[in-house]
Structure 1
Amino acid sequence: MNGIAKSINVGSPEPSMGKDAPTTGIIKKPVTEPVTVRAPGPKTTGLHSGVVGDHIGDTRHHGGDDQAIYAYAVEDYAWWAASLGRDLPPGLFGENLTTSGLDLIGGVIGEKWEFGSGLVLQVTFGRIPCLTFQNRMGEPRWVKRFAAVNRTGAYLRVVTPGTLVPGDRITVVDRPAHGLTLAESYEIYLHDHTRLARLLEAPELPPKMLAEVAERLA
């Protein structure tokens, strides 16, 4: 499967939008030049975002190696635009990477995306919405609405450092045989706890999540 890096988006520090963190980086704007990508390290003590120059305010819940990059698809933006009756420009959801041509709903946990630049990213899980996201959107009950429809976008970890280049090609080069998709894993984790054991079949999920699931099953 092939796609395109439709837009690369970077956020600067802005005043908090409803959390106890003093700033937020959710207001991301498209850039025209390539940006450097590297593994940021641990969530709270590392470099936070995988994109050099991208700000993360709530470092307790966002960023780190398993959330180094956030991607959202123009196809899912189109669905939301029709549902909400408003234009939704790239970067509005706070994603670093707006994709075109990739099925993020059917994307498999652990699949790897190779970019023309040589960068390789790996899908880890979907986005769990928060109050900052809701306030950014200005839509009533946005947290529940976003979580319910399962168009979550994809968090990615950095396998091979490189650059995100606007317009670059994206190729899915490896897809794990377990077949656990973003949509299925998200549905299980948030809504269908009778199937939690299924998540343990995907070792590429964030280690903290796997440990939590194992503990809940025990």
Structure 2
Amino acid sequence: MSMDADPISGASPPPGRVVAVSLSATHSFSKPNVPVIRLLAGLGVAGDAHLGETVRHRSRVAVDPSQPNLRQVHLIAVELLGMLQAAGHAVAPGALGENVTTQGIDLLALPAGSRLQLGETAVVEVTGLRNPCAQIEHFQPGLLAQVLGRDGEGRLVRKAGIMGVVLAGGPVRAGDAISVTLPPLPHRKLERV
């Protein structure tokens, strides 16, 4: 099922868009913005420290370096950054380590397996939620509490973005359109990866 048209009115929703793209060749917390990133199928972001078929996040490598890399691309909505700024945090695109800062798509509401087409050719399949760790608190005190919460039933809610794997490669730039294709029903809610 595609999110191309509203099932009731038939109107197409405004597309999401890429606000910024970022990468870092080192395991730094923040990633500087760049004019363009190149997604590589099955690997991630060319030149990024998390590029690879197997896990690259240091905590995951320490447990089992042969695990598949389900965290090839990190996406955060600019709307989250705005909420954090309103709470007094100095954050901008790339500051929380994301590769792609989006606008106009409720990333956290997507089901697992959703596909995001970024620009003309790149496709990322959503694998799960980013699990914010103590590094985010070291970056800015109080930030961890802002990206973690509880729902009405007391369950932990992670708001620090989503992770995905690259199905189709290509360049991604600020201003590129993002389209979403949902997986077949039944949908699985996002869990931490």
TM-score category (smaller protein): 0.7 to 0.9
1:52 shift after superposition: 1.0
Asked if the contact 1:37/1:164 (under 8 Å) is kept, the reply is yes
Match of 1:9 among 19, 22, 26: 22
Structure 1 or 2: more helix by fraction: 1
Return the structure number with greater strand share: 2
Q: Give 2:49's aligned amino acid.
A: H
| Alignment partner, residue 164 of structure 1 | 172
| Counterpart position of 2:46 | 52
Q: What's the TM-score once normalised by structure 2's chain length?
A: 0.73
- Percent of matched pairs sharing the same residue: 26
Q: Distance in 2 between matches of 1:31 and 1:100?
A: 17
When normalised by structure 1's length, the TM-score is 0.66
Seen in structure 2, the aligned counterparts of structure 1 residues 77 and 181 have a Cα distance that, compared at 3 Å, is farther
Given that 2:119 and 2:171 are in contact with CA atoms closer than 8 Å, whether structure 1 keeps it comes out as: no
Corresponding residue for residue 6 of structure 2: none
Aligned 8 A contact 1:40 1:64 in 2: no
- Tell me the amino acid that sits aligned with residue 46 of structure 2: V
Find the aligned partners of 2:18 and 2:100 in 1 and give their Cα distance: 7
Comparing 59-68 and 96-105, the one that deviates more: 59-68
For structure 2, which runs of at least 5 residues remain unmatched after alignment? Answer: 4-14, 51-55, 62-66, 150-156
| Count of matched residue pairs | 163
Query: 2:117 corresponds to which residue?
Result: 114
CA 60–93 in structure 1, closer or farther in 2 if over 3 Å, else same: same
Q: Which runs of structure 1 show a deviation greater than 6 angstroms over 4 or more consecutive aligned residues?
A: none
More RCO (CA 8 Å, sep 6+): 2
Look up the SS of the partner of 1:102 in the other structure. coil
Aligned residue identity for 1:88: V
